[in-house]
Amino acid sequence: MAQKTERLLPILTGQPVIPVLKIDRLDDVEPLARALVAGGLPAIEITLRTPVALEAIRLASRVEGAIVGAGTILNAADFGAAQAAGAAFIVSPGATGAVFDAADASDIPLLPGAITPSELMSALARGYSVLKFFPAEQAGGVAYLKSLASPFAAVRFCPTGGIGAANAPDYLKLPNVICVGGSWIAPDAAIMAGDWAEITRLSREAAAIARH
Ligand code: 3PG
C-alpha cells in the first residue's frame, strides 16, 4: 500500500521544523499550540510519552490552524488510540509490520522511522519513501544521511533526535531532507513557566530556517 504522501507531504513541506512535544499538563496544551501556530509552526507532533497525551491531541486539534499529529506510536493499539483522538498524522520512531498494517487500514498518513539500509528497503517495499530518521545525531547525523542519498535516491527524510537551532540548518540543506523535528522549540522549562512568548520566538526562528 502507498504512504498517502498526497496528505503527508503538504504537512511536512509546509514548515522546515516540526515541534515534537511531550505534554505533562493538559492546561498547557491550548496556549502551547497557539504559541506554535503564532510562530509559524502549525504542524505539531504530540508524543505518546505521557498519560495525558491522547487528551492533549484532542485539545490541541481544536486550536485554530493547528495540524496535530501523534508521535511515539509503537504498535497497532497506539495507532488506533491516536486515530480515535483525532490525530491528523502518525509518526513512529521505527516501523513494524503491525504498524504498517494499521496504516494500510487507515486514512491517516504515517511517517515511519528507518535508519539502516535494510530498514529503508523494508519501508520502500511497503510503499513508503518519506521516512523519519531517528535518533538523527546519534545514528550518524548529516554525514550518514548524505551517504544514503545515492543508493536511496527516492527517499526523503525527516530527521529528529539531537537537533536544535544550531544544527538544524545543516540538515535542512541536504536535498534528501524535507523537514526536521525536535523538542527544542518547546523546552520543558518554558512550558513549565508558561512562557508562551518565548515559544513563539523560538518557533519564528525555526520557521525562518532556509531549506535547500
Ligand atoms: C523524537 O521523538 O522525534 C525525538 O525524541 C525528538 O528528539 P529531541 O528531543 O532530541 O529533539
Structural domains in the chain plus CATH codes: 5-206 (3.20.20.70)
Distance 76 CA to ligand 1 centre (A): 21
Asked whether the beta carbons of 132 and 91 are under 8 A apart, the reply is: yes
- Cβ within 8 Å of residue 188, ≥6 positions away: 22
Question: Residue of the nearest CA to atom 8 in ligand 1?
Answer: 161
Q: For ligand 1, what atom is nearest to the CA of residue 72?
A: 2
Model confidence band, residue 1 (pLDDT cutoffs 50, 70, 90): low
How far apart, in whole angstroms, are the C-alpha atoms of residue 26 and residue 20?
A: 16
Residue 135: asked if its preceding bond is cis (omega within 30°), the reply is: yes
- Pull the grid cell for residue 105: 487500514
29 lines ligand 1 (CB under 6 A): no
Catalytic annotation present for 45:
yes
What pTM was estimated for this model as a whole?
0.96
Residue-level pLDDT at 202: 98
Pocket test for ligand 1, best of 134, 179, 188 (most atoms within 8 A of CB): 134
How far apart, in whole angstroms, are the C-alpha atoms of residue 144 and residue 155?
A: 14
> Tell me: the pLDDT tens digits for 159-211?
999 999 999 999 999 999 999 999 999 999 999 999 999 999 999 999 999 99
Catalytic annotation present for 4:
no
Which H or E run includes 158? strand 156-159
- Residue 102, classed as helix, strand or coil, is helix
> Tell me: the pLDDT tens digits for 30-83?
999 999 999 999 999 999 999 999 999 999 999 999 999 999 999 999 999 999
Q: For ligand 1, what atom is nearest to the CA of residue 160?
A: 3
Residue-level pLDDT at 16: 98
Q: For ligand 1, what atom is nearest to the CA of residue 137?
A: 10
Question: Residue of the nearest CA to atom 5 in ligand 1?
Answer: 161
162 lines ligand 1 (CB under 6 A): yes
- Residue 54, classed as helix, strand or coil, is helix
> Tell me: the pLDDT tens digits for 75-119?
999 999 999 999 999 999 999 999 999 999 999 999 999 999 999
Beta-carbon count within 10 A of 76 CB: 17
Distance 186 CA to ligand 1 centre (A): 11
Residue type, 26: L
How far apart, in whole angstroms, are the C-alpha atoms of residue 41 and residue 22?
A: 16
Model confidence band, residue 2 (pLDDT cutoffs 50, 70, 90): confident
Task: Give residue 144's region: left, alpha or beta (phi > 0; psi -120 to 50).
Answer: alpha
Which H or E run includes 133? strand 130-133
16 lines ligand 1 (CB under 6 A): no
160 lines ligand 1 (CB under 6 A): yes
Model confidence band, residue 23 (pLDDT cutoffs 50, 70, 90): very high
Catalytic residue among 6, 22, 30, 45: 45
